[in-house]
Amino acid sequence: MNQHMVVALMAMIFAALVSCIAEAAKPNIVVVLCDDLGYGDVQCLNPERGKIPTPSVDRFAREGMIFTDAHSGSSVCTPTRYGLLTGRYSWRSELQSGVVQGFKPCLIAPDRPTVSGFLKSQGYHTGIVGKWHLNFDYQDAATGDTLKRGKKNGLASVGSKVPDGPISRGFDYYHGFHHAGDMKAVIENDEVIAHDDEINMLPRLTRKAVEYIDDRTKTAADQPFFLYVPLGSPHTPIVPSKQWQGKSGISPYADFVMQTDAGFGEILAAIDRNGLRDNTLVIFSSDNGCSKAANFNLLHEYGHYPSANLRGSKADIWDGGHRVPFIVRWPGVVASGSTNAQTICLTDLFATCADVMGESLPEGSAEDSVSILPALKGEPIVSTRAGVIHHSISGHFAYRLGKWKLCLAKASGGWSKPTEKDAAKDSPEAQLYDLEADPSETTNLYTSEPEIAAKLLKQLEADVQRGRSTAGSTATNDLEKIKLWKSR
């Protein structure tokens, strides 16, 4: 071997070594998203009015950072999940209100970048264990024909294929179900593999998430992974396992919250026992506020308030509908036992992951995503986004800018009383709140602070019309016109 060959070989070895070191430095990323878990359902976030024990999340909070002003992309399920994966508000798509019901093409366009696809391009193995709820088709395995929802039990038969599910949107592995109505149909990768009772789903998802972490550590310890765990609990059906029934001494919903907390604890334990704790960024959150299906009257009798001191709950434009638990642990980066009051949104995951990688966002992606990496380090977020846009189940908009919040609704915009239909006839056409002085949104300043209301409305209109709320190349919404005022 001559000198030139030796030099070339050494260069190759050095390049490979640098590449391995770079890969090792990339943190594993685990995102656990609960379903309908209210801000006040986590005891450490609601110490005075929270009566459901959540020891796993409370301990996790002591080990990481609590964000006290974090918001889901919407006050209901599907649009929040769309925003989390794409970094784009869901109302920019064809979904202007409500949620999807399955047996239709995926809401995420095939060519739209996702955070899972981006991380896959960065060398990550990507897995999702849980609830998808973004639509996909089912196909007959033998003929390839697209299936319609059956009349007998509404489930796709075992063996049915899923051509446009998570595996086609950037994930290497999928185990879970579509949404609550189809929970009995268990899917793995791109195939329905079983029909199972709903009471078994939370234990199944917990087990599969743990297995994923164990397997990645055992078979590919040198490859970072992204694990997204969108749980189906404590959403309906409220089905705590037998060993959890009655544990809270309050209600089945409270039991289910406790079981969900314990499942999260098992996922953390798997991370820790596999020696992954120091190099794993873990995020715990919820897709929206608590649902009235939890039986608020009963919970209140026991002194438990799922929205803490916030007004409203799931589906509403008030903060109880979309201010969510958001807790992060990342040893060496995030200070343990810390709190952060900066306003963030679940759409921010995509830009944050890109920032963690030291990479630019893919072209045509994450139009409403801002990196919160500075906040994780205890620094101010650097953002080209003026404020955060909120959206209710009925499509009512709100705009949050600093301490001010403008709601383009006369009332809740959702399920809480008063709704838009039963709002007083002389109610102002909109609501404006100073959340610094009035976090419970009790005093409407819309008529007394017209200049502030006009400023927020102008910014909302601009963010909607530009097709993005961050700086970047021109973008477009999927619909030519988006109706801002739903109650006019």
Which are the contacts of 258, defined by CB distance < 8 A and separation ≥ 6?
A: 52, 53, 54, 240, 244, 247, 248
Three-state DSSP at 367 gives: coil
Q: Show the domain range for 436.
A: 390-465
Give 336's pLDDT tier (boundaries 50, 70, 90).
very high
Tell me whether residue 488 is in a domain.
no
Q: Are residues 104 and 163 in the same domain?
A: yes
Give 474's pLDDT tier (boundaries 50, 70, 90).
confident
- Number of residues that make up the chain: 488
Q: Are residues 202 and 262 in the same domain?
A: yes
Q: Tell me the CATH number at 445.
A: 3.30.1120.10
Q: Are residues 217 and 300 in the same domain?
A: yes
Domain boundary at 352, 376, 400, which? 376
* Cross-strand bridge partners of residue 434: 404
Q: Are residues 308 and 455 in the same domain?
A: no
Q: What is the pLDDT of residues 145-187, one digit of tens each?
A: 999 997 777 899 999 999 999 999 999 999 999 999 999 999 9
Domain boundary at 376, 408, 425, which? 376
113 and 366 Cβ atoms separated by less than 8 Å: yes
Can you give the pLDDT at residue 377? 98
Q: Are residues 367 and 394 in the same domain?
A: no
Tell me whether residue 486 is in a domain.
no
Q: Are residues 324 and 433 in the same domain?
A: no
Q: What is the pLDDT of residues 340-349, one digit of tens each?
A: 999 999 999 9
Q: What is the pLDDT of residues 410-446, one digit of tens each?
A: 999 999 999 999 998 899 999 999 999 999 999 999 9
> Which whole number is the average pLDDT over 297-314?
98
Can you give the pLDDT at residue 3? 60
Q: Are residues 320 and 347 in the same domain?
A: yes
Give 19's pLDDT tier (boundaries 50, 70, 90).
very low
Which are the contacts of 11, defined by CB distance < 8 A and separation ≥ 6?
A: none
Tell me whether residue 1 is in a domain.
no
Can you give the pLDDT at residue 154? 86
Three-state DSSP at 281 gives: strand
Tell me whether residue 260 is in a domain.
yes
How many domains are contained in the chain?
2
Tell me whether residue 292 is in a domain.
yes
Class of residue 426 by CB neighbours under 10 A (exposed 0-12, middle 13-18, buried 19+) = exposed
| Nearest-angstrom CA–CA distance, 203 and 94 | 34
Tell me whether residue 121 is in a domain.
yes
Q: Over the chain, what is the mean pLDDT?
A: 95
* Cross-strand bridge partners of residue 185: 195
Tell me whether residue 206 is in a domain.
yes
Q: Tell me the CATH number at 176.
A: 3.40.720.10
Q: Are residues 430 and 328 in the same domain?
A: no
